[in-house]
Amino acid sequence: FHSLQLVDKMVPKSFSSMEPLSYTTPEMKMETDAVQLNCDWPMQQSDDTNSRLHRDKQWRVQDKRLVLQRTLTEMHTFIKHAEWWFHKDVFAQLLQDAKDAVNCAEDLLDEINYHEFQNKVEGHAILFHVQDYHETKIDKIQGKLEHLVRQMEQLGLYDERQQFIIESISREDNLFAEEQTIFGRQKEMSELIELIVLQENSPTDKQVTEVHAVPDCKRAKLENVSVLPIVGSGGVGKTTLANLVFNERSVRDHFDLLIWICVSDGFDEKKLMKRLAWSVAESEMKTDDLGCLQRILTNGIIHHTRRLLLVLDDVQTDACREDCHGWKIFLAPLKYARSGSMVLVTTRYQRVAERVGSLKHMFLEGLPEETIWEFFRTLTFGSRNSNSNAVLEPIGRSIVARLDGSSLGIKIIGRLLSLKLDAKYWKIISESELWGWPLQEEASIFTALQLSYQYLPFHLKRCFSFCSLYPRGYEFDAETLVDSWVAVGFVMPSRSILAVDIGHVYFNQLVSRSFFQRSPTSFRYVIHDLLHDMAQYVARNDCFMIKSRSDMSRIPPKVRHVSILGNGELSSTDIECLNTYKTLRSIVCIGVGCDIITNSVLETWFDHLTRIRMLRFISCRLKELPCNVGKLIHLRYLDISACDFDKLPTDLFCRLYKLEILDAQNCTLHAVPKDIIKLVNLQRLRLKNDLISQLGRVPEIGKLTLLQNMPYYAVDDKPGRGIQELKNMNHLHGGLEIDGLRNVTSREEAAGAELAKKIYLDTLVLKWHESIRPQKHNSTKEMEVLEALRPSSNIKHLEVKFYMGDGLSPMWLRHDELSSLASFSINSCPNTTTLFLIEPSETGSSRSSSVSFQSLTKLSITWCRSLTSLDNFLQPECLPMIKVIQISNCEELASLPTNNLVHFVHLEDLEICHCWNLNWEPGLALPPSLKSLKLEACGEFSDSTLSCLHNLTALTTLNLRFCPSIESISAQIWSGLWSIESLKIVCCQGLVTVGGSESIAGIKNVDIRHCSKLQDLEQPFRSGQADSQ
């Protein structure tokens, strides 16, 4: 990227006359809360320590902190406006100085806040000399910030064009619609598919020439595997075309193995062989011996009976070094694949295409003018709007003409312009000085990318540029990336919305602007190489990636975020030198061995790099973590998920009060450490499944009030294990099973859990006992406890298990309080005789409740052996949206409201099993929406009742088991079941006929057996893929 001269249009406007822009950092929010909290300190301390001098010092430091916070807000406003001129070298140094000063201020405020947390947890007052140190540091940083404010005020950084920066996305477009449609590449796609599929027959030069008009050159010998390159400039659509071909049905049917590997970050034959093995067999190869790697690949992974399609995306020129020596080594094992195998290579470089290809390459040019306009029009005006704006179209066409047919450029600039269909906005972008950069390769697309970046809100700029920390082609998991943004302080907090939820909004905004796109082979996201290059440029002073020893001398002096990529060049001595970069907030190690990241290296880092907020070891199998990890008092995010730890150092729990995320999901820990409750800011803990369930057995777990994931909690009568531990855990997300409710002794104790405040939970399981026959229980007490366990109205899935109350009738189920409830399960409640929908009327008689579960789609009632009736529950007005009804093992159930079932107009799945005493009333009718019906051991279900099958045209599955009263199923019934695909009839001892074998001949999967009187068929009778069970 090139610098430009200062633009004359800059508006010399003083910030003192501008309306202030609010900006809040996590540190500011914590400081505001902390200052309010600390106002009470002098009153809480004893007379011995609460001296006048000490009080004065406290108040003075608090006042200076508030001033520093206000100055930080002002500085963030300046930085936001200065970022507009990211391409101007004249602003670069001042902008960097401002960022450095702001970061130092934030670190200081965070350090002060840490000491307050320490005081809260350990019960010690902050020492006088520590406060004195804080005051001195505040004064120094405040003076520097005020000096920078004066400098930046004089520059007049505000530009009127910044008013067009759109902070949020209001349109609800399909973000991936354009990725599902191919614009102008149908011809190339068809030709490429034909060539790939025909390659088994060794295509002639004539066949190839029909597709490409490229001069012939020397080719490698054509063996079992062919290499076909696609070459074109960056952003022209090579990867998109390859992806469409890769996912085409005819291609996927033709090949036995389909593998996609991105090699944007450099060609390394050893790494590629390992990634190839992982892609096929999920087998990790630890050896670096090339001969051994080749033998592993050819010993079953690459096999002569399996045809292979391998896509190598974005191959760089390093594949050609040393006369393609590494390429030939990588290709050698692939020749053991079945004849007709193919390696599809995408590359920007003609030289690569000519050197590695065994077939003539396909050259991909930019899209034609009208095709690219159609693509642009769809992105900006929407696919539903066929007419573009008469005022905007000329401006749009002038912009499109500059992009040389680049699909990436069109996608980026189209998304930017779609945010505001305003002629002034479009004209400003069309006339941007960035279009006037000196001509260079791919200059137009770089301009489009920079314009899109320039108009990003400040918070999105920071989040996007941070991604330069990861190598090209890296596949981002949205949740992990958002966690990283939150940890390093890029997400603005809100009192009403969790930071992680705001972070996901940020991510979706970047996706909608095409800064991220879906990975071709997973649900993760990738950044295009050209966008990655831009991210590295704009973050060049803040983020740095270490790939080799030579990179160590190029690290920016005040770098904030560093990543280390594992390779054979780096040594432990090299990376230990990072301890001199005191400003570091993030270290991300990717694939670095434990022989490089030694315990000594980590100890050195932890002693000196105390400002670290995020520490991730990705694919790094470290053996232990040094005890001095407790010195990282700012640490928010610790990722040791790939490490082989069987225990964690004590200091991890004793001092890391700021830790929010601990990812140890693959560590072989023996138990959840009891001291984990000291991590008072912990929000997410990732452990192996068997360990995460133990978290709910840790005494006093209720101290982790910010914890978001705890799928299981076991109530006990031991200290620190009562249900009241859940009282303040209102950030719990996802699902929660509360076990051991038999240990709750009263309604008041149960109410102490305050489940109604758990607004982020969507699944709740309430479990009383361990079996259906507990040794002792108190039915009345359990009914009272259930009444007090009122969940949040946001609950979508509710299950009640091993409950021994006589009735299941809490008031919160009878008053439409669970408006979001989608599934309800009543499991193993043997004493329940009636459900909650019977209420006394004013006259003393019973009437149906007016409760309506508008969102309930699934109902499951099982092992409720005392339940006698569901007539007042299974009503269309009560369950208007029900799709699935499952009733099983209700031994005393005597009847069903047969007249009501036909009115469940959305019912798709009906299953009634092992309800022995069920009496079916005449006139049973089922709704035409039914798709699956299972009847098993459910009373006197006879021939006359089978008339309910008439005209069930949507029914695809019919399962009849242990229905001895059924004697005949007429051919007329089968003729009305147009959609049936699966039929199972088992142990229907009275069945004599199914209407003849020809009546069921059209059903794909049939399984009929153990029907002793059946005369139509020889048993067992099976056809298709019927289950034999």
Give per-residue pLDDT as tens, 335-380. Answer: 888 888 999 999 999 999 999 998 889 999 888 888 888 888 888 8
Please tell me the distance from the alpha carbon of residue 529 to that of residue 532, in angstroms, as a whole number.
5
Whether the per-residue pLDDT at 15 is higher than 60: the answer is no
Highest mean pLDDT range out of 21-30, 367-376, 631-640?
631-640
pLDDT band at 84 (very low <50, low <70, confident <90, very high): confident
Query: Distance (Å, rounded) from C-alpha 833 to C-alpha 828?
Result: 12
| C-alpha 305, offset from chain centre | 37
Residue 166 vs residue 591, higher pLDDT: 591
d(CA 638, CA 760): 24
Q: Is the pLDDT of residue 218 over 50?
A: no
Taking the C-alpha atoms of residue 227 and residue 962, their distance in angstroms, rounded to an integer, is: 60
User: Is residue 581 within 8 Å of residue 610, measured between CB atoms?
Assistant: no
Under a CB-based contact definition with an 8 Å cutoff, are residues 870 and 896 in contact?
Answer: yes
Give the pLDDT of residue 333.
Answer: 86
pTM of the model: 0.84
* 90 backbone dihedrals φ, ψ, rounded to 5°: -65, -25
Distance CA 636, CA 633 (A): 9
Which CATH number describes the domain made up of 185-363?
A: 3.40.50.300
Cβ atoms within 10 Å, residue 777: 16
* CA distance readout (Å), 373 to 171, 394, 611: 21, 11, 50
CA–CA dist 459, 506 (Å, integer): 8
**44 pLDDT above the threshold of 60:** no
- Most distant pair of Cα atoms in the chain: their distance: 102
Neighbouring residues of 838: CB distance < 8 A, sequence distance ≥ 6: 809, 846, 847, 848, 849, 872
Quote the CA–CA distance of 749 and 491 in Å, as a whole number: 38
pLDDT digits (tens, 9 = 90+) for 811-853: 898 767 888 999 999 999 999 988 765 444 444 444 445 678 9
What is the distance between the alpha carbons of residues 822 and 798, in angstroms, rounded to a whole number?
8
Backbone torsion region of residue 180, taken as left when φ is above 0, otherwise alpha when ψ lies between -120 and 50, otherwise beta: alpha
Least confident of 94-98, 103-107, 781-785: 94-98
Other CB atoms within 10 A of residue 483 CB: 25
Sign of the four-CA dihedral 297, 301, 304, 306? negative
Could you tell me the CA-to-CA distances from 324 to 220, 317, 351, 621, 810 in Å, in that order? 11, 10, 11, 32, 74
Could you read off the pLDDT of 750-787 as tens digits, one per residue? 999 999 999 999 999 999 998 877 778 888 999 999 99
Q: Work out the burial of residue 733: count CB atoms within 10 Å of its CB; fewer than 13 is exposed, 13-18 middle, 19 or more buried.
A: buried
Residue 898 contacts residue 920 (beta carbons within 8 Å): yes
- Percentage of the chain with pLDDT > 90? 44
Query: At 133, which amino acid appears?
Result: Y
Kindly state the tokens that stand for 478. Answer: 């949205």
CA gap 297, 283 in Å, rounded: 11
What does CATH list as the number for 554-663?
A: 3.80.10.10
Cβ-contact 937, 913 below 8 angstroms: yes
Give the integer Cα–Cα distance in Å for 547 and 554. 11
**Is the confidence at residue 168, as pLDDT, over 50?**
yes
pLDDT at position 173 is 41
Q: Phi and psi of 125, rounded to 5°?
A: -75, 150
Interval 307-347: pLDDT, tens? 989 999 999 998 888 888 888 888 888 888 888 899 999 99
pLDDT at 288: 61
**Phi/psi of residue 826, each to 5°?**
-115, 110
DSSP structure class, residue 510: H
Spell out where 580-717 has E strands.
Answer: 586-590, 614-618, 637-639, 661-663, 684-686, 712-714
pLDDT at 1015 over 50: yes
